[in-house]
Amino acid sequence: MSLNEADIEKKVMLLKLLVKESDESIDEVLKALVNTGMFELDRAKEIYKELESDGYINSGALTMIGDIEAKKAKEEFTLAN
């Protein structure tokens, strides 16, 4: 299965939300993703809003489905030995 750029961006966002520190704000999460060079801030905000409207995020936290998808993304991005 081939992922398009938008799918990868969403998986990266979900993964970052999965591993974020408890005291880390959403703005800090978005800025951290921007600092990686993968996103422009406007695009990061757009993806966040898409994930929120799709039910993966609620009130700045992963929903149950968001958590499941984030864990799947973690497995996908983990390199096998």
Residues 6+ apart with CB under 8 A from 19: none
State pLDDT tens for residues 9-24: 999 999 999 999 989 9
The domain in which residue 67 lies consists of 11-76
User: Does the structure show a pLDDT above 70 at 81?
Assistant: no
**What average pLDDT does this structure show over 31-53?**
95
pLDDT (0 to 100) of residue 78: 86
The domain total for the chain is 1
Q: Binning pLDDT at 50, 70 and 90, where does residue 26 land?
A: very high
Q: Is residue 2 part of a domain?
A: no
pLDDT (0 to 100) of residue 80: 55
**Between these two residues, 76 and 56, which has the higher pLDDT value?**
56
Q: For the chain, what is the HEC assignment?
A: CCCCHHHHHHHHHHHHHHHCCCCCCHHHHHHHHHHCCCCCHHHHHHHHHHHHHCCCEECCEECHHHHHHHHHHHHHHCCCC
Q: Is residue 6 part of a domain?
A: no
